[in-house]
């Protein structure tokens, strides 16, 4: 069923679909990054496709390739019950040109995955409304999932500070209320608390 999706993509987008395969049962289309968003919009909006469920997005580093980064997207159609993997390659050996259009306006769930890919791999998602680090702190240098990132690299230590001290929005949550953050009541449990005699 999903192989038909690949056929439709090739017919619709022609040379912009650089390659397709179905290795290990994973129906995959590799597309030109310039058409990334157009292909995604088509997969979501076309009635034959109906890919209404965003499943996953990540970046994979192949430092010996040029372009070196693959952005990988997994989609599923709850109506048609087919799935597809979409890929595009971006970035040169020095990570120049490592960008592609954001798709978080097509699938809201993609927002945090794009931020994670930006943070850990270094892909810039053009048009993302809040593209900043999501796992590493703002001063973290580099992207730790790149294959050439040194495992023993020291990072700057940053003391706890307020947004005013940092000079940039940190996005920290307000302190917990008095009844939040405690897994158990403020008393010692004994066997009677759990119904044991």
Total number of domains constituting the chain? 1
Nearest to 59, CA basis, from 104, 103, 113, 111 = 113
Q: Does 40 reside within a domain?
A: yes
Encode the chain (197 residues) as per-residue pLDDT tens digits.
588 999 999 999 999 999 999 988 899 999 999 999 999 999 999 999 999 999 999 999 999 999 999 999 999 999 999 999 999 999 998 889 999 999 999 999 999 999 999 999 999 999 999 999 999 988 889 999 999 998 888 887 777 677 787 777 776 666 555 555 444 444 444 445 444 44
Q: Which domain does 27 fall in, by range? A: 2-161
pTM of the model: 0.80
How would you classify the pairing of strands 17-21 and 28-31? antiparallel
Q: The domain spanning residue 106 has which CATH number?
A: 3.30.460.80
Cβ–Cβ < 8 Å for 101, 43: no
């Amino acid at each position: 069923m999903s192989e038909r999706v690949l056929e439709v993509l090739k017919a619709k987008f022609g040379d912009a679909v650089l390659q397709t395969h179905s290795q290990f049962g994973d129906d995959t289309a590799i597309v030109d990054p310039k058409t990334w968003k157009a292909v995604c919009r088509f997969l979501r909006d076309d009635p034959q496709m109906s890919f209404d469920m965003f499943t996953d997005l990540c970046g994979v580093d192949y430092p010996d390739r040029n372009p070196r980064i693959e952005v990988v997207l997994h989609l599923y159609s709850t109506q048609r019950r087919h799935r597809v993997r979409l890929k595009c390659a971006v970035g040169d050996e020095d990570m120049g040109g490592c960008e592609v259009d954001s798709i978080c306006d097509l699938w809201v769930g993609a927002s945090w995955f794009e931020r994670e890919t930006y943070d850990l791999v270094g892909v810039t998602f053009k048009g993302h409304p809040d593209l900043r680090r999501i796992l590493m702190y703002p001063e973290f240098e580099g992207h730790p999932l790149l294959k050439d990132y040194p495992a023993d690299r020291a990072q700057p230590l940053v003391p706890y500070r307020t947004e005013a001290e940092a000079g940039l929005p940190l996005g920290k949550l307000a302190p917990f209320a008095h009844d939040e953050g405690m897994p158990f009541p403020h008393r010692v449990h004994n066997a009677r608390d759990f119904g044991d005699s």
